[in-house]
Structures are given as structure tokens and as C-alpha cells.
Structure 1
Amino acid sequence: MDTNSPVYIRRYEPSDAPAQLELRLRNRTFMAPYDPVRPASFYTLEGQREQLERSLAGWEKDEEYAFAVCLVEGGELIGRVALSSVVRGAWQNANLGYFIDSAHNGKGFATEAVRQAVAFAFGEAGLHRVQAAIMPWNRPSIRVVEKAGFRLEGLAVKYLRIHGQWEDHRIYAVTNDSIE
């Protein structure tokens, strides 16, 4: 981690459920255009506990590495960054997803969290490639991955069901030999 960074990432803990719930509730409307339709149970303490348990189990199985994004000053949980769908063998790839509390957008926090997650992917996790799928109209998210060194690889038509409809996504990727 850059010692001048205003944020750091850390492995989630079961005790993060209340803070994660607050974060999700506070950003529910803001994130709706970018998220799949979620059941009402997702926005409950039990729902967030289940999410964290799945994330921690995924970590143990080398299938997912989810991190809390926290402010250095005060330690407040302000977002999430995750390396999911880890595939080993010939691919050595993970998908990247992230979000930052709307109150903290536009400050470079997402870019820094992504950089730290990619450093983990290529270091401790030993991956070769990380990819992100972003809707073409989501310019702020595209800017995050571009600043983090990702390259545009192409368009995946009707790639994910987001906010109730199939959305095209641009695929961005970075490999361990292309990061400074």
C-alpha cells in the first residue's frame, strides 16, 4: 500500500456486517443503476452477514477475495472491492468489482482500492490477469480502471442483467506483466 494513500483495503471480518449494511442502505438508490436487482433480504443485517460469510468462504476456497475499503483516517468502511470468479489452470484470472460510498466519489478512492486489489491479485494470490466488465455509459468507472492501468479489450453484448435488463459491457483487463 502507498503510505500516502487515503484508503486501504483489508479482508472482511464477520463483525463488518453492521457497517456494510449501513453502507448498502445509504447507497441503495445511488447503486441501483449499476447493480443486479437484489432481494429485500439483501438489505438486512442477516443478508449482509450471509454475504460476508460467502465472501470469507470464497477466500478460503481460492474462489473470491473480497475486501473492505476503509479510510486511513478513522478506519471508516466506505466501499468494497472484490476479485471474484477466480479461475486457476491456464487462465489464472479473476473478475474485478468495486464500489465506493457516493459521499466519497470523485476523490480517487476507487482507483486506489483497485490498485491495491490488483497488487494483491498479482502478489499474494499469484494471478496473471484481472478483468472488469463496465457498462459503456458508466464513464466514472471506466476512468477508474483506465487510471489503474487496465486496457480495453472489447464489447460483450448483453453481458450482465443489471437493474432488471441485459446490459452491454466493455471488458477491460490488466496482466501482471503490464503493471509498473
Structure 2
Amino acid sequence: MLTERLELRAFLPEEAEELLELRLANREFLAPLEPVRSDSYLTLAGQRTEILQSEKGRVRDQAYVYAIRLRENGQLLGRAALTGIARGPFQNASLGYFLDRTHNGHGYMTEAARGIVELAFTKHRLHRVQAGVMPRNAASLRVLEKAGFRREGLAERYLKINGVWEDHILFGITIEDWKGKEEENDVR
């Protein structure tokens, strides 16, 4: 998918080295925001495995992982994923993402989140997308709000992040919310 400034697409196996470089460059920056990873995760083999697992998730309709790239030069800026896909009466996925620290503050993640939500509702036929953010992660809170998500509540000790059980503010958006925002934008 192309947005105004970005390309969102599945990772290719040959992009493992590039993904590893991005992960290593952002290791310290992301550590307070992510689960503790094994040493093998931040290796070329670990990133190859990550890409292969994401491909299996796509084939099984369980997860969709996207590279976030600049349209102008193809530079890899980050990753966004719809995971934990539930079908049946729920039709839901969880959104997770990260962006290279040098590209924060330019609206790229908001643009990517909007694109992923569009893919969730149009291509993947989901009804709802949810996300959780630690209360101290102000930048990510803004991304979700700007992307049209609504705050749904606080989940105490929701995820183990950097070795600590952290509270998360839960957000959600449904296809009805998204269509309403789209219609609002068309009127303007």
C-alpha cells in the first residue's frame, strides 16, 4: 500500500539484514518500550526467522507484518503489525509498531498507522483493531489518537515490557469509526 509519503508492504526474506541494522541502531531507544528479547533475536538468523514467521502468520491469516518505507528512496523506517487476529464473531487484531528514532516527530508513524488501519478494514476484512500503550509513552498515545483510535480504558500490569509488568492504556477503532472519519474527511 502507498500512502502520501510511505510504502507499507510485507517484508521479503532478503531484507533481514536491513531489518537487523534498523533493530540494532534502535536497540537502546526501543528497550524501555519492548519485551526483553533473547540475544539470538538481534542476529541475522533471528531477523530471518522473524520474517519467515511473519510470512507464516500471513499465510495462516493470523498476523500481517509490514515494513514501513519512505516512498522517495525506499529507506526502511520501521515496522507495523496486525497480530493476534481473531476471526468468527470478533474479527479483531492488535496493532503494534516501531519507528526509527531519527524519524520520530515527522508524522510518519501516524501516517503508517492510518494506512495499516485501512488495510485492516479493506484488505483483511477485520471489524476492529486494538492497541495498548504505556501511559508514559506520549508519542505513541498521540499516534493512536491522530489515527482515529479511541481510549477504552486502563489495563493494569498488561504486558511485560523490559522485564516489568506495565500498565497500558487500551485503544480501539472499529470499521464504523473508520468509515465515519473517512466520510468526515471527504466532506472537508
Same fold (TM over 0.5): yes
Amino acid at match of 1:123: T
Match of 1:59, SS? helix
Counterpart CA distance in 2 for 1:76 and 1:92 is 32
Paired-residue identity, %: 50
Q: Which residue is 1:48 aligned to?
A: 47
- 1:79-132, CA deviations, whole angstroms, 9 ceiling, x for partnerless residues? 000000000001000000011100100000000111111000000100000000
Matches for 1:1-180 after TM superposition, within 5 Å: 5-179=4-178, 180=182
Counterpart CA distance in 1 for 2:176 and 2:133 is 23
Counterpart CA distance in 2 for 1:44 and 1:87 is 31
Counterpart CA distance in 2 for 1:2 and 1:112 is 10
Q: Which residue is 2:185 aligned to?
A: none
Unaligned runs of 5+ in 2: 183-188
Q: CA deviation at 1:2?
A: 6.4
Q: Closer, same or farther in 2 for the Cα pair 1:78/1:2, shift >3 Å?
A: closer
Amino acid at match of 2:28: T
Match of 1:86, SS? strand
The list of structure 1 runs, each at least 4 consecutive aligned residues, that deviate by more than 4 angstroms after superposition, is none
Amino acid at match of 1:86: I
Unaligned runs of 5+ in 1: none
Amino acid at match of 1:17: A
Amino acid at match of 1:14: P
Match of 2:40, SS? helix
The answer on whether the counterparts of 2:2 and 2:8 sit within 8 Å (CA) in structure 1 is no
TM-score by length of 2: 0.93
The two structures, once aligned, show a CA RMSD in angstroms of 0.9
The answer on whether the counterparts of 2:65 and 2:81 sit within 8 Å (CA) in structure 1 is yes
Match of 1:69, SS? strand
Amino acid at match of 1:22: E
Amino acid at match of 1:126: R
Amino acid at match of 1:72: R
Counterpart CA distance in 1 for 2:8 and 2:144 is 17
Counterpart CA distance in 1 for 2:150 and 2:94 is 14
Counterpart CA distance in 1 for 2:111 and 2:53 is 25
- 1:4-41, CA deviations, whole angstroms, 9 ceiling, x for partnerless residues? x2212111111110110000000000000000000111
* Paired positions, count: 179
TM-score by length of 1: 0.97
The answer on whether the counterparts of 2:63 and 2:85 sit within 8 Å (CA) in structure 1 is yes
Counterpart CA distance in 2 for 1:64 and 1:31 is 22
